[in-house]
Amino acid sequence: MKRQQPPSLPGSLPLSRRQILLGTAAAATALTTQSRAAQRADLNQASLAALAAEKGLLLAASFAVHEMDASYGKAYAQAYIDNVGGITSELCFKMGMLRPTADKLDFGPADRLTNFAQQNGMKLRAHTLIWNDALPEWVHRLRAGEIELLMDAHLLSIMERYRGRVWAWDVVNEPIGPWDKLPGNLRNGPFYAAMGEGYIARAFRAARGYDPMALLVLNEAQTETADGNGQIFRDSLLALLKRLKAEDVPIDAIGLQSHLRSDRPYDMPRFVGFLDEIAALGYAIHITEFDVNDVAYSGSIAARDQAVAKLYRDFLTPVLAHKAVKVLTFWQLADRNSWLTYGAKEKGMKRMPRPLPLDDDFQRKPAWYALAEVLKGTPPR
Ligand code: G3I
């Protein structure tokens, strides 16, 4: 059949089919670029926190008060004011910071953080009251009976002081630790050694009494990957949650840290199925420490930033679409402040990781725009 000549456009020379296709492609690209530019302009107006709040989501990030004293301190604080509706204490609500010695309580940094949150209308997530890790040396020298006393005294003294100003408490952090080969794959440490698995229920029951209005959260890591490790963590955490539910332990939400790595496998339908199982037990879900460790990505900074933005989209789109997910928290906001940069020199790191939505100058990266697109597209809770 004779090739049909495309109709000549009125007022112009007849165009070849190729020219029309090229013209269409160029027009389409222009449109995409234009719509993306328009979209970015649109996003530039909307703060991420407002986009999240429209969908019933709290957008937060971990905050370290000592960063406010750095040369970039003002820009650091402003980045939080501009982008998030909540902050999580990265350090100052940990036992090591609050109780540097057995006979000393240092509320300075926690007071400063709490005031910053209050002054800027931010919800405060206090992380973390009981953790079998990152404990001050003196705790390891306590005898069993003294550990219970410490737990009760710690929960009382901290929660009484901040009651009404903390929106959510990470009451127990990282209870799972398969490497310790304990029943239920629980993690060993002073609290487990003194009380067994019962330390978890004891902590939550005491916490409910000391701050009945706050959300109580059990926070866990390493549940995200589609590999044997991720499966062990998901299975162990779900089994623990079922036991705690059966004992009617007062837990409101489960924190999933979500420290992603570019060199790990993810299976989103499987992970969403895990979210379904947590939600079916009646718990809300907080994504509590999101970042993407991109050191395994090769290529230019621009290529790495695009790859990180893609993993943000791939992971956060299905996760934030889940109605039980109420909070998305980043672990810091700007690359320079990420825990992944600690000890870079000592570790001989050739390149610094770029895991977060803002760069070292607190400027938006492709990951910021990817997050904004996901927030715009996610359904309301
Ligand atoms: O600020 C001091 C500095 O003055 C001192 O010179 C230096 C050398 O010891 O230490 C600095 O404090 C360090 C602090 O981070 C601030 O950089 C502490 O040693 C170090 O232990 C602390 O690490 C924190 C870690 O938790 C242990 O508390 C990280 O910042 C923090 O990002 C990390 O966060 C954890 C979550 O709580 C639980 N989930 C995993 C996550 C990442 O490991």
What's the pLDDT tens digit per position in 286-299?
Answer: 999 999 999 889 99
10-25 pLDDT per residue, tens: 333 333 444 433 444 4
Ligand 1 center to residue 339 CA distance, Å? 7
Beta-carbon contacts of 72 under 8 Å, excluding residues fewer than 6 positions away, are 336, 362
Q: Which residue has a Cα nearest atom 28 of ligand 1?
A: 134
Atom of ligand 1 nearest to the CA of 338: 32
The rounded distance, in Å, linking the Cα atoms of 278 and 301 is 37
Ligand 1 center to residue 54 CA distance, Å? 33
Ligand 1 center to residue 129 CA distance, Å? 15
Segment 367-377 shows an average pLDDT of 97
Ligand 1 center to residue 64 CA distance, Å? 10
Ligand 1 center to residue 144 CA distance, Å? 27
Segment 270-277 shows an average pLDDT of 98
Atom of ligand 1 nearest to the CA of 127: 37
* Residue of 113, 132, 342 with the most ligand 1 atoms within 8 Å of its CB, for mutation: 342
Ligand 1 shell residues, CB under 6 Å? 90-91, 94, 134, 173, 221, 257, 289, 339, 342
Ligand 1 center to residue 136 CA distance, Å? 12
| pLDDT for 49 beyond 90 | yes
Ligand 1 center to residue 62 CA distance, Å? 12
| pLDDT for 244 beyond 90 | yes
Atom of ligand 1 nearest to the CA of 332: 32
> Tokens at residue 170, please?
């990470």
Atom of ligand 1 nearest to the CA of 342: 17
Ligand 1 center to residue 351 CA distance, Å? 20
Q: Which residue has a Cα nearest atom 38 of ligand 1?
A: 173
Ligand 1 center to residue 7 CA distance, Å? 69
* Residue of 62, 68, 91, 99 with the most ligand 1 atoms within 8 Å of its CB, for mutation: 91
344 or 262, higher pLDDT: 262
Atom of ligand 1 nearest to the CA of 339: 32
Q: Which CATH superfamily is domain 55-377 in?
A: Glycosidases (3.20.20.80)
Provide, rounded to the nearest whole percent, the portion of the chain with pLDDT above 90.
83
Q: Which residue has a Cα nearest atom 37 of ligand 1?
A: 90
23-40 pLDDT per residue, tens: 444 444 444 555 556 655
pLDDT for residue 144: 75
Of 31-40, 168-177, 189-198, 228-237, the least confident: 31-40
Q: Which residue has a Cα nearest atom 43 of ligand 1?
A: 339
* Residue of 93, 125, 287, 339 with the most ligand 1 atoms within 8 Å of its CB, for mutation: 339
Segment 263-271 shows an average pLDDT of 98
Confidence of residue 1 (pLDDT cuts 50, 70, 90): very low
pLDDT for residue 45: 54
Atom of ligand 1 nearest to the CA of 94: 28
Q: Which residue has a Cα nearest atom 21 of ligand 1?
A: 134
